[in-house]
Structure 1
Amino acid sequence: MKHTTTPIEAHEDSVAVARRFVDARRAARALPGYPGALPRSLDEAYARQDAAIALWGEPVLGWKVGRIPDAWIAPLGEDRLMGPVFESRLQWLEAGDELTFPVIRGGFAAVEAEYIFVLARDAEPGRSDYGPIDAAELVRSLHIGVELAGSPLATINELGPAVVVSDFGNNAGVYVGRAIDDWRDRPWSRFTCATWIDGRQTGRGGALSLPGGPLAALAFALNRGARRGLPLKAGMVVSTGAATGIHDILPGQRALVGFDGLGDLAGRAFTALPLDASA
């Protein structure tokens, strides 16, 4: 007789997988493979993310949004995914600041050019039908920025979006640069950018590289957050997606993200150290 997983067993599985990811991140230790059975759905993956957020034990100050590749949209039923931005992994940049990218050796790390919203108001609790225009009404400011994608699992992207979701959405940090004061008065086509790794251009794109533009990504985060019982709050940041692509980076390499007419953000990658000296 085929065994059917009970809700209690499913929760225990989620916690077990989450603990292995959290322990590996804290120890800055690569994982040789996915630490459990692969998630079969986005809801199962988000249950593991929720368990990992609880284990991490740090305030969530925002969310990263990433695109789900076309081949996965029909099987999974969504075109984007989200992951938490923790207090210690959110950096507000001053002019001239150098970014530092902690990379787990043997894991995954990449730099992504991002357009980042800061919310002025709480989302309506339980509301999950935000569109881009409605989402814009909640925005305090739009910024240039960078996401450091990162995981102890080197194959995280190869294993699919549900796996990405289960490990914090493959997020290791968000860096918020200068505000774009006149963003509401400019067409998204005017927002373009490029990324260089060690002086070689690895990608060019802009706000319209994101399906529907950055506000569509924000609307997704508002709606998915509501369905998870995690409505977005005033002051939270929402990093809207990789505007020039996903650019792998290794310890010792330097990255430069140039936002045309808005400035550059630059930094270097280094080997991540355990967060706990006893790890």
Structure 2
Amino acid sequence: MNDSLAKSAAALAPLEVARRFVDARRAARSLADFPGAIPADMAAGYQIQEAAIGLWPDAIAGWKVGRIPTELQAELSAERVMGPVFAANVTQAGKDPTAVFAIPGGFAAVEAEYIYRMGQDAPAGKTDWTPKAAVALVEDELVGVEFAGSPLASINILGPRVVAADFGNNAGLILGRTIPDWRTRTDDWPPCEAWVDGKRVGRGAPSSLPGGPAASLAFLMNAAAARGRPLKRGQLVTTGAASGIHDIEAGQTARIAFGDLDEIVCIAQAASPAEGQGGSDGHGDTSG
């Protein structure tokens, strides 16, 4: 291959990787391996994510934030990772268990979350948000459950660069109740506990997140603005896995309790191409 062709192939690589992830998600088909070269850094992972957002036929309803393991933060020059949450994958919890759709042979997990709903648009280009300033733009805070999911079973094992590439390992968000008086509550309320098939697998509180949920929000607002995607009014922000990341398989039931405020129950089912895979109009997201 001559230099010109090599450069052309390299330029197309992120789009091709993105296309393989998107095709696998929409077909509810697992991937045996990462479909290409592992991203060299977080920026390369986000380059793939941006390409995938352009291919995904749904609007961005919000963003998830995840914590990068402490031992990798210096190497990656990052403490957190982000990914889009798409509108079709946002569900309001009800009295009956909420179905979450796991791709057979892929990755699936549930996480207790503290979620912000934005009350104002963030100014474009502002990338020096502090936690206090970021929270000032929030309308309310809710409890909920992130459904983490990917066609790639080894996504978390391969690390944050790969997580960034595949939508931050997000496959859905279940919204619970609004936290009353959330601006004045302590960072230990409401606590959270996670149970899978009746076994407690994790517990935590807002204070389990380094710097609290507001620190995650400030990170996201800075990172999103740097990518030309400042947060918009009404968008949702999941701030991190307060009780941990809890694997779940089709047929299993998870219960996430938030003290005496709320309890969310979900049941995992095997995904099919028609379930939990976003829209089907063939047009990618073009929103900021």
Q: TM-score, normalised by structure 1?
A: 0.95
Pairwise CA distance, 1:126: 0.4
Q: 1:209 matched to which residue of 2?
A: 208
Give the corresponding residue for 1:219. Answer: 218
User: What CA distance in whole angstroms lies between the structure 1 residues aligned with 2:249 and 2:96?
Assistant: 20
Could you tell me how far apart the structure 1 residues matched to 2:172 and 2:20 are? 20
Match of 1:187 in 2: 186
Match of 1:115, SS?
Answer: strand
Alignment of 1:84-95 (within 5 A): 84-94=84-94
- State the 1:199 CA deviation: 0.3
| Aligned position for 1:148 | 147
The alignment status of 1:63 with 2:63, answered yes or no, reads yes
Q: CA deviation at 1:206?
A: 1.1
CA distance in 2, matches of 1:10, 1:249: 36
Counterpart residue identity of residue 113, structure 1? A
Q: What amino acid is aligned across from residue 16 of structure 1 in structure 2? A: E
Alpha-carbon distance between aligned partners in 1 of 2:126 and 2:240, rounded to the nearest angstrom:
23
Shift of the 243–56 alpha-carbon distance from structure 1 to 2, 3 Å rule, reads same
TM superposition score normalised by structure 2: 0.92
Structure 1: how far apart are the matches of 2:151 and 2:136? 37
Task: Summarize the alignment of residues 42-57 of structure 1 with structure 2, pairs less than 5 Å apart.
Answer: 42-57=42-57
Following superposition, the deviation at residue 10 of structure 1 comes to 4.3
- Verify the 8 A CA contact 2:149 2:171 in the aligned structure 1: yes
Cα distance in 2 between the residues matched to 1:127 and 1:5 = 39
Q: Please name the residue that 2:236 is paired with.
A: 237
Give the C-alpha shift of residue 118 in structure 1: 0.2
| Residue aligned with 1:20, SS | helix
SS at match of 1:220: helix
Question: In 1, distance between residues paired with 2:49 and 2:177?
Answer: 30
The letter of the residue matching 1:210 is: L
**Distance of 1:4 and 1:131 partners within structure 2:** 45
* Partner amino acid, structure 1, of 2:60: V
Give the equivalent residue in structure 2 for 1:121.
120
Amino acid at match of 1:74: A
Task: Tell me how far 1:98 sits from its aligned partner.
Answer: 2.1
| Deviation, structure 1 residue 185 | 1.3
TM-fit CA distance, 1:54: 0.5
Q: Give yes or no for contact 2:176–2:262 (8 Å, CA) kept in 1.
A: no
* 1-structure distance, mates of 2:198, 2:210: 28
Aligned partner of 1:98 in structure 2 is 97
Q: 1:181 to 1:76 in 2, by over 3 A?
A: same
Runs of 4 or more, structure 1, over 2 Å off, are 3-11
Question: Once the 2 structures are TM-superposed, how far is the Cα of residue 9 of structure 1 from its aligned partner?
Answer: 4.5
Aligned partner of 2:18 in structure 1 is 18
Structure 2 regions of 5+ residues with no counterpart?
278-288
1:157 equivalent in structure 2: 156
Per-residue deviation, 1:186: 1.0
Tell me the distance in 2 between the aligned counterparts of 1:82 and 1:129.
17
AA in 1 matched with 2:37: A
Match of 1:273 in 2: 272
AA aligned opposite 2:54 = A
C-alpha deviation, 1:44, in angstroms: 0.6
Give 1:46 shift. Answer: 0.4
Q: Could you tell me how far apart the structure 2 residues matched to 1:150 and 1:167 are?
A: 9
Query: Which amino acid counterpart does residue 137 of structure 2 have in structure 1?
Result: L
- 2:33 corresponds in structure 1 to 33
Q: Which residue of 1 aligns with 2:165?
A: 166
Unaligned runs of 5+ in 1: none
Which residue is equivalent to 2:284? none
- Following superposition, the deviation at residue 131 of structure 1 comes to 0.8
Identity percentage of aligned residues: 50
- Once the two structures are superposed, what CA deviation does each residue of 1:105-136 show, in whole Å capped at 9, x if it has no partner? 11000000000000000111101111110011
Letter in 1 for 2:185: R
Q: Deviations over 1:29-59 (max 9, x none)?
A: 1101000000011111001000001111210
Q: Residue 275 of structure 1: CA displacement?
A: 3.1
Checking the alignment, whether the CA contact within 8 Å between 2:93 and 2:264 is kept in structure 1 is no
Q: 1:180 to 1:233 in 2, by over 3 A?
A: same
Letter in 2 for 1:24: A
Q: How many residues align?
A: 275
